[in-house]
Structure 1
């Protein structure tokens, strides 16, 4: 098969995520578009695997341990987010907060009951590789290990069973952060989304909220943080935690900016002008 490079596949997905996040009007539309894109990407990879197979054992292991689970995990994640958001109360307040809190409780229960207790979860999180040739090679499914019943329905030519287990771990981790950001955005006090080393109790954002949202989206669109390997939700949560500010639904706020007349990037232009004036002053 064609050699797929892990970082290239991830970069491709992240580029599409930025494109979709910046072009859609709401999170539900964003989820549907990303699910469609990821399903097509996975379909293309499956066709290639079925046609060409793998040249080497380590290529096969890398695909089912790192590449396929990232794609499948994102599909599961976006599907769960879309289901959560389509049944979410439309107004803010306690009902809104309780809804996301209850979703977090369900996620934590699922994690404790089905993921945390498994030997595979401990293996995967510890970074071990000694059983990779068992977990991530085709044809090695041991039906005597008491596996979930869906194992009998998987395509044994394109799944090792544990690639799905890995994808589920990835999806749950992403969903945990998404729900945590929603809860913290709608609570007066709540668990910290970011563990900051410094005491930021006296740090506050003193410009407008729209200005900070503009800055967040600029950093996200330019892939300036972690080479773009960070979600918009996570980047927003970090900014809100750092500057002690609640921004609410930044997605809607951003699309209002897109439609505003005149200078749509007014804050960024203000930063540029301020910096140039400071440079002139210091020279």
Structure 2
């Protein structure tokens, strides 16, 4: 079985854009995305259990890159639905304090369950030397003192660590989502963009294309002489276009090693602009 990551991401992004264009409530949008992703994950699970993997590289890629993207977004949208449907009021101080408390809980969960683990540092460093252990079925070492959640997963469709990657991805997305919900006037260190005012603006290309553009602007010192970090720059674009991105660092790492042009979107931008210029001649 060989599933292409870009195809999966495009399907998810297409559904996000489709729902966003319908101008529905965030709770309804999150609910519909939860159903969509749950169905997608079930379909891929059925295919995986039926056909298996053609080689270990295919298996590692699936559990390291493909499944976590789907599961991570599923966790994210389900959490957004729960947050939105339990918010006590639609505005005011209680509304703001509610999202601030959610943000504090997210940071606490991140410190306690994610960033202090060796695996988190391994994943963030884009290492591959232990991929055979982390992302292949049947390699779990219980001597590592794993959390009890290992006994609740389906070991025919999980290596345990793919779930950890999914939670890292979900955490990143929730960070962006909650930051846009907190009143920026009361939080000057937060990004000064009102996400609710940009509902008519949407990114209609792929997520990889947007990440490529963000890194190009960052690398060329085109914004604030690169005094703004890549994470904050990415956050601005995510808020502006209402397009939650996955782990941009890993996406960029994959771009550096992809076959063909490493700057496919920028190459196409140049062609499109020149064609547009030629129309006016």
TM over 0.5: yes
Unaligned runs of 5+ in 2: 215-234, 243-276
Summarize the Cα distance change of 1:94–1:130 in structure 2 as closer, same or farther, 3 Å threshold: same
Summarize the Cα distance change of 1:36–1:127 in structure 2 as closer, same or farther, 3 Å threshold: same
Give the equivalent residue in structure 2 for 1:125: 124
Summarize the Cα distance change of 1:162–1:82 in structure 2 as closer, same or farther, 3 Å threshold: same
Query: Contact 1:193 / 1:238 at 8 angstroms: preserved in 2?
Result: no
Q: How many angstroms does 1:92 deviate by?
A: 1.4
Summarize the Cα distance change of 1:91–1:47 in structure 2 as closer, same or farther, 3 Å threshold: closer
Give the equivalent residue in structure 1 for 2:19: 20
- Does 1:157 pair with 2:156? yes
Query: Contact 1:65 / 1:163 at 8 angstroms: preserved in 2?
Result: yes
1:18-167 pair list within 5 angstroms: 18-23=17-22, 25-167=24-166
Query: Contact 1:69 / 1:164 at 8 angstroms: preserved in 2?
Result: yes
Q: Residues of 1 paired with 2:189 and 2:120: CA distance?
A: 25
Q: Could you tell me which of 230, 237, 243 is aligned with 2:239?
A: 237
Q: Residues of 1 paired with 2:172 and 2:160: CA distance?
A: 19
Query: Contact 1:137 / 1:160 at 8 angstroms: preserved in 2?
Result: yes
Q: Secondary structure at the match of 2:87?
A: coil
Give aligned pairs, total.
222
1:112-261 pair list within 5 angstroms: 112-185=111-184, 187-193=185-191, 213-214=199-200, 216-217=201-202, 220=203, 222-223=204-205, 227=209, 235=237, 237-238=239-240
Q: Deviations over 1:169-223 (max 9, x none)?
A: 00011001100111145x34432338xxxxxxxxx9xxxx97x643x24xx3x33
Q: Residues of 2 paired with 1:95 and 1:5: CA distance?
A: 44
Give the equivalent residue in structure 2 for 1:269: none
Summarize the Cα distance change of 1:225–1:34 in structure 2 as closer, same or farther, 3 Å threshold: closer
Q: Residues of 2 paired with 1:127 and 1:162: CA distance?
A: 14
Give the equivalent residue in structure 2 for 1:247: none
Summarize the Cα distance change of 1:50–1:148 in structure 2 as closer, same or farther, 3 Å threshold: same
Q: Residues of 2 paired with 1:128 and 1:148: CA distance?
A: 23
Alignment TM-score, normalising by the size of structure 1: 0.71
Query: Contact 2:5 / 2:65 at 8 angstroms: preserved in 1?
Result: yes
Q: Residues of 1 paired with 2:140 and 2:74: CA distance?
A: 23
Alignment TM-score, normalising by the size of structure 2: 0.72
Q: Secondary structure at the match of 1:23?
A: coil
Q: Residues of 2 paired with 1:225 and 1:157: CA distance?
A: 30
Summarize the Cα distance change of 1:55–1:224 in structure 2 as closer, same or farther, 3 Å threshold: closer
Summarize the Cα distance change of 1:190–1:155 in structure 2 as closer, same or farther, 3 Å threshold: same
Report the RMSD for the aligned CA atoms in angstroms.
2.9
Q: Deviations over 1:61-99 (max 9, x none)?
A: 000000000000001101111111111132312111111
Q: Residues of 2 paired with 1:156 and 1:130: CA distance?
A: 22
